[in-house]
Every structure is written in structure tokens, then in C-alpha cells.
Structure 1
Amino acid sequence: MSSNHLVTQSIEKLKRAHIRITPQRHGILEYLIENHNHPTADEIYQALAEQFPSMSAATVYNNLRLFTKIGFVVEMNYGDASSRFDFTSTQHYHAICEVCGRIEDLYYPGLEDIGEVTTNLTGFKVKRHRLEIYGTCPECQLKQEQAAKN
């Protein structure tokens, strides 16, 4: 699905929920959909500051809170100081570099029924789940190999 289609679809969902579509709200949503780098609120603010000079950091935070509440965005906190935000159109997981903090989306269809399996095995009523895989990204591996040679 194209990012333009996701933006249009998301805007329509906001309208159906009677949520006003401000230019800033549209800009934040579009940024999240088009950038798969799991930005922090501050990174979003910095990226959009030139386009929306009167927008405050609080506007970004408030809209991220709204998008999280209605299920457009997942707030990811991996123990560092800043939460990262991820637009969620499909269930996916994350591979996280323990050296540089890079986060890559991982789609693995074999885990689609994990909630049902968990319910069957434990009796839990599953609301949501997340999977995080920690390791070292290819760039950091290369840097480590080069440093070991020197």
C-alpha cells in the first residue's frame, strides 16, 4: 500500500471519528507514514519546524498522544530516555541494534496467530503483543570488525 493511500485512509478515519484535520496534524501523520525510522517526538518536531514555524513541541506530543489513543501509532520505549513512535498499518515486530539504537521493522507471517495460541495455552485474553529482537546491525558489525583489525 502506498504512503499516499495510507495518509488518505488515515485522514478519512480521523474525519469519521469527528477529529478535526489541522495542517499540523496532517503533517505529523504524513511524516510518520513516510518515515520508517521510528522517530522521537523531538525528531518529528525538528523535521516539521520549517514547514510549520508556529507549531510547538507540545502540539507534536499532543497529536502523538491522540494517534496512539486511536491506534494509528504505537509508542515504543526500549529503556532509553526518549520514546519512539511507529505508524502501524500492519502487525510487525522490531529488530534493534544494541550498539547504535537503529530499529528495523520485521514482518513475520508465522506469528499472526500468536495471540490465539497464547489464549489456548494459558487462558489469557490477549490485548496486544510485541516482539523485540536485539543484536548488532550490519553497519555496526562492520565497524566492530574494522576496529578489531586495527
Structure 2
Amino acid sequence: MKRNFSSKRNAIYNTILSTTTHPSARWIYEQLKPDYPDLSLGTVYRNISLFKNEGKVSVVCNVNGEERIDGNTSPHTHFVCNCCGRVIDVADDGSKSSESLALLNKGFTIDSKLVIYYGKCSDCCNN
């Protein structure tokens, strides 16, 4: 279904696409509030939900009770820092893991794969 983008919806979507920080709804709201004084946090959540349903964004994980959003919907791996909460894209060579190959050899089909590593980022390890 083709949907018209309002200026707020467009701003929310562009904010998600313009960052690799994997933002929360609150972060998006705080970035846009100065330019859209009548923007509500509820509007941000509703639009993120719409984008998720349309496959335009994905939820990577939940950090401190907040979903973290990714505008890059191509398959890739993430690292989540347990200390500072950063979510970082991890380079992935796209090769199939031994687990994936084992499933494929048993006749399974794989529609998607989600890999998330948890630990301490290099900044937190050095502090």
C-alpha cells in the first residue's frame, strides 16, 4: 500500500536512516523536537511501528527497556555493549555459518538470521 508521508513521518524516517547509532524512539524524538515543537513521543512510536510493519526498519534489540531501531534492513550482525548500551554494526562476510549449513542440509529453509553479540565495547574495556 502506497502511503503519503507527512513532514513529521518523513523526518522520523530520515532520522532513522541518517544514523548508524541504532536509535531509540526517545532519541529520535529528542533530535526532532526542536524543529517540530508539536511532535509527540507517541507519534514517533506509531510511525516506527508503521515502518516496522512495512519492512522499512527493523528492531535490533532492547537496551534498558527501549527498542533500538535500524534503518539498514539488509542482513547483518550487531554488537551490543552491556556497559554503555551502544549498538554497533559488525562486518559480516555473508557466508553461511556451520549451523545454517546444517539446517539447509536437513531440508530446512532459512528466511532470516539474527546474530547479536553482547559484551563490552572497546571504549568501555579501556575505562
Q: What TM-score, normalized by structure 1, do the two folds share?
A: 0.74
Does residue 62 (structure 1) correspond to residue 46 (structure 2)? The answer is yes
Does residue 36 (structure 1) correspond to residue 20 (structure 2)? The answer is yes
The percent of aligned pairs where both chains have the same amino acid is 27
Secondary structure at 2:66 match in 1: coil
Higher helix share: 1
Q: CA deviation at 1:116?
A: 6.4
1:56–1:117 Cα change, 3 Å? same
- Amino acid paired to 1:41: A
1:79–1:100 Cα change, 3 Å? closer
For residues 80 and 124 of structure 1, the distance between their equivalents in structure 2, rounded to whole angstroms, comes to 35
Secondary structure at 1:27 match in 2: helix
RMSD across aligned positions (CA)? 2.0
For residues 51 and 122 of structure 1, the distance between their equivalents in structure 2, rounded to whole angstroms, comes to 54
Q: Partner residue of 2:90?
A: 106
For residues 61 and 94 of structure 2, the distance between their equivalents in structure 1, rounded to whole angstroms, comes to 25
Matches within 5 A, 1:8-19: 17-19=1-3
Higher strand share: 2
Q: CA deviation at 1:83?
A: 0.8
Deviations 1:82-131 (A, max 9, x none): 111111243211012122111110121243x4596354134333222111
Q: Partner residue of 1:83?
A: 67
Verify the 8 A CA contact 1:91 1:107 in the aligned structure 2.
Answer: no
1:79–1:23 Cα change, 3 Å? closer
Q: Partner residue of 2:78?
A: 94
Structure of greater relative contact order (alpha carbons < 8 Å, 6+ residues apart):
2
Q: Partner residue of 1:132?
A: 116
Bigger CA radius of gyration: 1
| Aligned pairs, number | 126
Which segments of 5 or more consecutive residues in structure 2 lack a partner in the other structure?
A: none
Secondary structure at 1:83 match in 2: strand
Verify the 8 A CA contact 2:60 2:69 in the aligned structure 1.
Answer: yes
For residues 73 and 45 of structure 1, the distance between their equivalents in structure 2, rounded to whole angstroms, comes to 16
Q: 2:107 aligns with which of 123, 133, 144?
A: 123
Q: What TM-score, normalized by structure 2, do the two folds share?
A: 0.86
For residues 118 and 34 of structure 1, the distance between their equivalents in structure 2, rounded to whole angstroms, comes to 37
Q: Partner residue of 1:46?
A: 30
